[in-house]
Amino acid sequence: MVSERQADGRCREAAQVFHLSRMLMFMTGITGFGIVFLYAEEIAGLFHVPGASLSMRAMAPALFLVPLVASYRGYFQGMGTMLPTAISQIIEQVFNAVISIVGASVLFGIGTKAGEKSGEELLGPAYGAAGSTLGTVVGSLSGLLFLLFVICRLIVVQQYIVGSISNGDRGFQLMCHIVGEIRFKFLYRLLPQDRIKQIDESNQDNHKKQER
């Protein structure tokens, strides 16, 4: 729906679709988080694995974060770029792998010591499993923070370009020169296609004037 409206030039409607989907994902995520976190012991009891409640509570924040990440990735895909999605997935998986290994190792040791004192042999593995699921939470959070950073930068660049185009000031020519010469391709590719065409046309005009 975002790509359809973006292709038709209905950028405001595309933004509205994104805001609605983000709100829907927020409500879905907060509901899932609340159910799993508050009723982890009951859910684990249904499957006859009481020790799983620790892992479920540790993983519960991911149920809130992942839908939000999906809404932002879907928005960028609708805008015609997969670059933010790809980079955010790399960041997410790096944090996921590192935190999962470190968390499982540290919490397994803590759980083992606590189990020796309390006489519960399975407390160490339960803590270790909970530590490994923290990687999913931290990875999702890191991916979300990266996407938020990108979209904030994108908004700033778009507002600057739209304002410069409407005012016809020299600041836009400077922006065109920066984009053309330095080729900051990351933000460049995130701009809507009509803005990219305006930058390219202005860049070409500036080069022709310089050649003359």
Percent of the chain with pLDDT over 70: 66
Q: Considering only residues 70 and 184, tell me which one the structure prediction assigns the higher pLDDT.
A: 70
Angle between helices 123-167 and 52-78 (to 10 degrees): 20
Angle between helices 170-181 and 123-167 (to 10 degrees): 130
Radius of gyration in angstroms for the set of CA atoms belonging to the chain, rounded to a whole number:
24
Q: How long a stretch of residues is the chain?
A: 212
- H or E stretch at 51: none
- H or E stretch at 111: helix 83-118
For 77-124, the pLDDT digits (tens) are: 777 778 888 889 999 999 999 999 998 899 888 888 887 787 777 778
CA dihedral 170, 175, 177, 178 (to 10 degrees): 150
Cα-Cα end-to-end distance for the chain: 46
For 151-186, the pLDDT digits (tens) are: 777 766 666 555 554 555 455 455 454 444 434 455
